[in-house]
Chains A and B, each alone.
Chain A
Amino acid sequence: MGDLVQVRGVTKSYRRGGETIEVLHGVDLDIPRGDFVALMGPSGSGKTTLLNLIGGLDTPTAGSIVVDGRRIDQLSSGELSAWRAAHVGFVFQFYNLLPVLSAQRNVELPLLLTSLSGVERRRHAAVALALVGLADRAGHKPKELSGGQEQRVAIARAIVSDPTLLVCDEPTGDLDRATATEIMALLRMLNREHGKTIVMVTHDPKAAEYAARSLHLDKGTLA
């Protein structure tokens, strides 16, 4: 099985208060298709920056990033939006659901960018919610759900358009141990049974245990 993600010589710098800060220093990384990688490291080591670059949320200062055979570091803002919609699912620490929409409507959001009809969108969302075990919570608003349930809705939203790659930023960071275990089991199931390639940033060694491998980032360099 070939590499889904190829990161070559990637550096990323920011300008803060007139000063240039280099967060990543020439990172090289290969992630095979179907892999489940945990990115670990201390705060400020550049984990989230690297995850954002792989997910197409940001562009590198130098170097190249190829995902599924396409150089995403050379895409325009509009092309990158369309690429993310088709290829990447995102899961965040604080779920980032739209509070005024029901779970069903939240999950449907990525499908608004497809040509699917309303009926088809609802059916896809229902399947995704069933997959994360929340079929009976489709009509609930986020504030009516527990933290674990909110994260499950976020995962359903991430997989509803059947992306190749899931990027997860501290997916258990806001959850208690028991709920975190459930979420990690869900991600492992998506990886093993549905072949999703997952790149996950975490501080939690327990969560990292669910990944196929862990990579350590320190001061912008992979150890």
Chain B
Amino acid sequence: MRYVPLLSAGLFRRKARTVLTLLSIVVAFLLFGMLQAVQSAFESGADAADAKRLLTTARYSIIEPLPMAHLKTIERVPGVIGVASADWFGARYQNESNAFPVFAVDPARYLDMYPEFTIAPAQREAFVKTRTGAVAGQRLMDRYGWKIGQKLPIASEIHAKTDGSLNWEFDLVGVIDADDPAVRANTDVVLINVAHFDEARQLGRGKTGWYIVRVAEAEQAKVIAAEIDRRFANSPDETKTAPEKEFAVGFAKQIGDIGAVVTRILAAVFFTILILTGNTMAHSVRERIPELAILKTLGFSDTRVTTLVLAESIVLLGLGAGLGMAVAAALLPAVNGSTGGRFPPLFVTAETWLAAAALALLVALAVGLPPAWRARRLRIVDALAGR
């Protein structure tokens, strides 16, 4: 504590420069916090995956439909204890920016596949029995102010009704939710009854988008996946089955290798910070050569002066990193609210805080060591004589 005034004096000798450098560090760590949250969100699908759940899609593309008749075949595969189908509706609510996933499902089969979703028994029953029924995630209900019992008008970008209209209307009969925040992201959907949907659509009847398969033993998942695909091999509708986690990772990679993108952006940002902060520290020490020489004259050892200079860069980076991460943590709830539920919720995790601390220390050492070394090697008589 006794060196705090000295540290503060060194750091704020030129307030404007230090504040600007601090701001750039804050922005760098703000980006770090937010991008790491994005990366975590992309990995969260895999984190929330159930090891006993498989997903079966068309072999060559997930947008290619599969016959609904596959369901019975899959159900007969040994080790399979449940199968549900789901189809992509391609929804648009009121305007194009209000997009959220709508899946056409067999209500009972689908909800059985996701025991981590919560729904009131009476609402589940109503969904099963109402052909035009729909249930929505709690967060969508809150966002759009929907109420149970109301009509839900949704347009489809893919499916026209038999009369050629793209405008559909459903009866909102229930709400789904989840206690686990990682699972909750998966409830940001509207489920509609496939019985009505399949009957009322103009094209694609008897087809579905993908199957969700529940197996008895997680250890058998890969063997069963292979068996499912074997049963449809050489048919017009070959399949590709994978554990849900593998599917989630693969799906995220279709958007791009988020990890690599995040790493490259952050590498560019921190390289800039390294140059900027390194330059500030070098300038700061160069300007204070006579002052450092005086400290040595007064009896401050080489090691003490080195430590003081290094401590300045550690304090600067620590302060900037802490502020940047705090701002990221404070902004993410607002970002979550503005994505319209089209993106998993973003959080700054404990691991991200730890990574930020380690990164701050690393950058502090990288930018602090060269000037600290210069201060250490400073010869008093030369510095005082201005040599």
B2 within 8 A of A: yes
CB distance from A218 to the nearest CB of B (A): 20
Give every chain B residue within 8 A of A96 (Cβ-Cβ). 290-291, 294, 297, 384
Does A92 contact B298, Cβ atoms closer than 8 Å? no
Q: A58-B381, A96-B290 are in contact. Are A90 and B298 (CB under 8 A)?
A: yes
Determine whether the beta carbon of A81 is less than 8 Å from that of B5. no
CB distance from B152 to the nearest CB of A (A): 66
User: Which residues of A sit under 8 angstroms from B294, Cβ to Cβ?
Assistant: 96, 98
Does B19 make an interface contact (CB < 8 A)? no
- Asked if B207 is at the interface of the complex by the 8 Å CB criterion, the answer is no
Q: Which residues of B contact A99 (CB under 8 A)?
A: 13
Contacting residues of chain B (335-387) with chain A, CB-CB under 8 angstroms = 380-381, 384
Chain A proximity mask over B218-240: 1 for CB below 8 Å, otherwise 0: 00000000000000000000000
List chain A residues, Cβ under 8 A from B302. Answer: 77-78, 81
Contact with A along B296-328 (1 / 0, CB 8 A): 111111110000000000000000000000000
* Distance to closest chain A CB from B287 (angstroms): 11
Q: B9 on the interface (CB 8 Å rule)?
A: yes
B295 contact set on A, CB distance < 8 A: 109
Report the Cα distance A147→B9, complex, angstroms: 21
A81 close to B2 (CB less than 8 A): no
Residue of A58, A100, A105, A113 near B299 (CB, 8 A) is: A113
User: DSSP majority for the A interface?
Assistant: helix
Chain A residues contacting B261 (CB-CB under 8 Å) are none
- Alpha-carbon gap, A82 to B299, bound state (A): 6
How many angstroms from the CA of A179 to the CA of B341 in the assembled complex? 75
Given A98-B294, A100-B12, A113 and B300 touching (CB < 8 A)?
yes
Taking CB atoms and an 8 Å cut-off, the chain B residues in 254-285 that contact chain A are: none
Not counting A52-B381, A77-B302, A118-B2, a sample of 14 additional A-B residue pairs whose C-beta atoms are within 8 angstroms of each other reads A58-B380, A58-B381, A78-B302, A81-B299, A84-B299, A90-B297, A98-B294, A100-B13, A101-B9, A109-B295, A110-B298, A110-B299, A113-B298, A113-B299
26 A-B pairs with C-beta separation under 8 A: A57-B380, A57-B381, A57-B384, A58-B380, A58-B381, A78-B302, A81-B296, A81-B299, A81-B300, A83-B299, A84-B298, A84-B299, A86-B299, A90-B298, A92-B384, A96-B291, A98-B9, A100-B9, A105-B9, A109-B298, A112-B2, A113-B298, A113-B299, A118-B1, A121-B2, A157-B298
